[in-house]
Amino acid sequence: MGSGGSMEDIGQELQQRQQELLVLQRQQQELEERKRQLEALNTRRNELIHGQREIRERLLRAIVILERAEGQSRKEVEQMHETRQTFSEQLAEINAIEPSEWSPSSIEEELSRSLAKVDQAQAVYTQSRAKLDALRGRDLEPVEGGDENQAPGSVSGNSSDSFTDNFLRGLAFNLPLIGAILFGLILFRLLK
């Protein structure tokens, strides 16, 4: 009967060890599941850090570009305003020339004075046009043989667009994407 009791003890110990093994296996599975969760969280955290850094750099770069473009646009507008005023003054001078009102005795003097005004207006026009062309990066007058009916600022197949035009088009195309990313980041922060 002693061997039967010992067999029962062995059976009970075996059963106890099997239960301990099941508990350990369950704990191992729980630990592996927790490890997977932590790895997924770490991956998402790394994605957030990377995405945050990337969009921060893009936004900062875009802000700098926009500030430069804004400053350049202000210069352009100021230069255009000054040029328009100068052109208006020159046009008034040219329109004031009335050869029919000159007296026969002063035709030579009036003609010289009028030619000087025309020459001055042409010089002012050329100089102002060169400044505007340099500032805007394109020619104020259409090129010979070009499409003269083309509206100012419209896209031509032959002409190269300015950086500002291309940047604004790119911004317009990517604005929904930028908005969605910003909305996602805000939503993520609120739900965190």
Q: What is the pLDDT of residue 1?
A: 46
DSSP string, 59-96: HHHHHHHHHHHHHHHHHHHHHHHHHHHHHHHHHHHHHT
What value does the mean pLDDT take over residues 99-106? Answer: 87
Q: Which of 10, 11, 38, 132 is nearest to 81 (CA)?
A: 132
Which residue in this structure is represented by tokens 């509206």? Answer: 151
For residue 39, name the pLDDT band (cuts at 50, 70, 90): very high
Render pLDDT for 74-98 as a digit per residue (tens, 0 to 9): 988 888 899 899 999 999 999 998 9
Residue type, 114: S
Q: What is the pLDDT of residue 25?
A: 95
Low-confidence winner among 31-40, 58-67, 109-118 (lowest mean pLDDT): 109-118
Q: What is the pLDDT of residue 155?
A: 43
Give the tokens for residue 98. 């009335």
Render pLDDT for 10-30 as a digit per residue (tens, 0 to 9): 889 889 999 999 999 999 999
Q: Please say if the pLDDT value at position 117 is more than 50.
A: yes
What value does the mean pLDDT take over residues 108-130? Answer: 89
Q: What is the pTM of this model?
A: 0.45
Element (H, E) at 18: helix 2-95
